[in-house]
Amino acid sequence: MNKDTKYIKKEDCKNEWYHIDVENLTLGRVATRIALMLQGKNKPTYTPNVDNGDFVVVTNAKKVKVSGNKAEKMHYNFYSGYIDGHKQPTFKNMMEKHPHKILELAVQRMLPKGILGRKFLTKLKVYTGTDHPHAAQSPKTIKVTG
């Protein structure tokens, strides 16, 4: 271990609030950027075992897009644990019923598995429309390309 490496403690973390409008953006590219921000990998003070990430507010989740013919061919697997409890909705069906879940699942699968990954996911706030109730935190708007 290098003596110059600085690891921060939980008390030294400063979490910011960011707003991302995902209208007409590609699902995977946006989810990657959000996952990095939730983990704090976009900061120079990144420490792998400390929650140094930021809060991310996502709006217009129902207007996110996918490339190619993934809208018809991409499936999500859910199993309730009961007999005949296996469901496989397509991207198009999920967009009609639960558009916010698409982005949440994409980001969740890019985060580390375990306690810290679940803690990162609580900092993600996804809304299907343009309005969100986090104006009091005054989130900084980020322009994501892709």
Q: What pLDDT score was predicted for residue 100?
A: 96
Give me the mean pLDDT over the 31-37 stretch: 96
Statement: residue 5 has pLDDT above 90: no
Closest to 11 (Cα-Cα) out of 46, 51, 43: 51
Statement: residue 127 has pLDDT above 90: yes
Q: Which domains does the chain have, with CATH numbers?
A: 13-142 (3.90.1180.10)
Average pLDDT, the chain: 93
Tokens 């075992």 belong to 49
Cβ 127 vs Cβ 100: under 8 Å: yes
Statement: residue 85 has pLDDT above 60: yes
Q: What pLDDT score was predicted for residue 2?
A: 65
Statement: residue 89 has pLDDT above 70: yes
Entry pTM:
0.91
Give me the mean pLDDT over the 61-84 stretch: 93
Higher pLDDT, 2 or 26: 26
57: phi then psi, degrees, rounded to nearest 5: -105, 120
